[in-house]
Amino acid sequence: MRLYIHIPFCRSKCGYCSFYSLPGVDASAMDAYVDLLVREIALWDRRLQLTPTKRSVTSIYFGGGTPSLLSLDQLQRIADALRGAFHWTPELEWSLEANPDSAADLDYLRGLLGLGVNRLSLGLQSLDNRKLDLLGRRHQSAQGLKAVDLARCAGFGNISLDLIWGLPGQRALEWLRELETVLKLQPEHLSCYGLTLEHDTPLAQAESSGNIVLPTETEQAKMFLQGTELLESKGYLQYEISNYSRMGFTCRHNEGYWKSESYLGLGAGAVSTLGDRRWENPKDLDEYAGLVRAERIGTNAVILTRTDRIKELVMLSLRTTRGLNLKDYSTISGRDFLQQHRRLIQVLRQNELIRVHSGFVRFTKSGMLVSNSILERFIDATSDVSSADT
């Protein structure tokens, strides 16, 4: 099993962020939230009637928000509760997201390592101060670089850096130069996301009003393709559309998502999937607190249908460079994927957007650029067939 813990607090909301988060840091609110998390963990400790093997936890991920705003004492309380409720496997991966401005203290970083955090994910996002201001980030480029140095000094041997490309006014050459600077830091892992303008975010509103202009599709394609080529030439394996790692440093927690493994989400806004049951905790602190106190967390679960599982298998596995295992698809759906989608696959292969090899369907690099539209067509076709079967 994998655990996700959502820490919604942040100092301010970034201009592109659509995740559930609460701007402004209130120490008493954070203490109260930790109390709720501990109660929710205790609830699941009593509720989960599983064998010891199934209660083993192989990865823990603290996301947000900004988890690094929690004090070491607060994190210790959560860790103690988790250790009491679950068996931590010896090879457990514990990731924690941090922003450079909240990871600027060497003693704090050493404390994280002492608690058991063994993978630090730093949100650099950009090394251009003007771009950082545009994104609404609170740190400057120098702070980002310093945070990486401090994490190394603290003893972290597994550091992941988040970067965003396709920023307003950005050119491919700028992106490549930024990557070259980041590579000098020798991170074990890189997550490089193309900027997505989510509805109702400040950046989306600025773009719709003409105050910012995104790079052309051609320029964005150069950023992705040339950036991937550069990273692979330096020994970073692309294992998912937006993720690259040195050998042995893939994010095992996220790999579990992409393989449709069970995970338990804790905290306001967290999503869980255990077997064929899925639920989402309220994205409202008061509502979440009420459900925890009433011990009603997780009672709103929906049962995933076979069609749901087929769609997720296609959508998640095709995001990875491993691709879709055709045997897995046949086992779940009872159908031959290549025959079911033969016309679409023929067109995609002719345009060199997918490859079919050794029992797997995979996107090419060019296919990854338009993966969302291709996935939509596969999913729509799956829905049509499922409707015809009922």
pLDDT of residue 214: 93
Query: What pLDDT, on the 0 to 100 scale, is given for residue 312?
Result: 95
Answer yes or no: are the C-beta atoms of 243 and 324 closer than 8 Å. Answer: no
Which whole number is the average pLDDT over 229-238? Answer: 98
CB distance 203 to 15 below 8 Å: yes
pTM for the complete prediction?
A: 0.94
Tell me the mean pLDDT in the region 227-246.
Answer: 98
Structure confidence at residue 390 (pLDDT) = 40
Pairing verdict, β 2-7 and 9-10: unpaired
Question: What is d(CA 182, CA 194) in angstroms, rounded to the nearest whole number?
Answer: 17
Whole-number Å distance between alpha carbons of 240 and 191: 9
Query: Does residue 385 register a pLDDT over 60?
Result: no
Q: Which residues of 175-210 are buried (b: 16+ CB within 10 A; e: fewer)?
A: bbebbeebbebebbbbbbeebebeeebbbbebbeee
Question: In the chain, pLDDT over 90 holds for what percent of residues?
Answer: 82
222 compared with 275, residue with greater pLDDT: 222
- Tens-digit pLDDT profile for residues 4-45: 999 999 988 887 887 888 888 788 999 999 999 999 999 999
| d(C-alpha 368, C-alpha 362), whole Å | 9
Specify the CATH architecture of the domain 2-257: Alpha-Beta Barrel (3.20)
Q: pLDDT: is 275 or 59 the higher one?
A: 59
274's enclosing H/E stretch is: strand 271-274
Considering the chain, what is the average pLDDT of its residues? 93
User: In this model, does residue 386 exceed pLDDT 70?
Assistant: no
User: For residue 136, what pLDDT is reported?
Assistant: 87
Q: Calculate mean pLDDT across residues 47-60.
A: 78
The sign one gets for the Cα dihedral 22, 26, 27, 32 is: negative
Q: What pLDDT is recorded for position 381?
A: 82
| 193 neighbors 244 (Cβ within 8 angstroms) | no
Percentage of the chain lying above the pLDDT 70 cut: 96
pLDDT at 19: 80
pLDDT digits (tens, 9 = 90+) for 175-224: 999 999 999 999 999 999 999 888 888 888 988 888 889 999 999 999 99
SS3 state at 250: coil
Q: Residue 388: is its pLDDT beyond 60?
A: no
Q: What is the pLDDT of residues 102-122, one digit of tens each?
A: 999 999 999 999 999 999 999
For residue 230, name the pLDDT band (cuts at 50, 70, 90): very high
Q: Give the fold, CATH level 3, of 306-389.
A: Arc Repressor Mutant, subunit A (1.10.10)
Q: Residue ranges per domain, the chain?
A: 2-257, 306-389
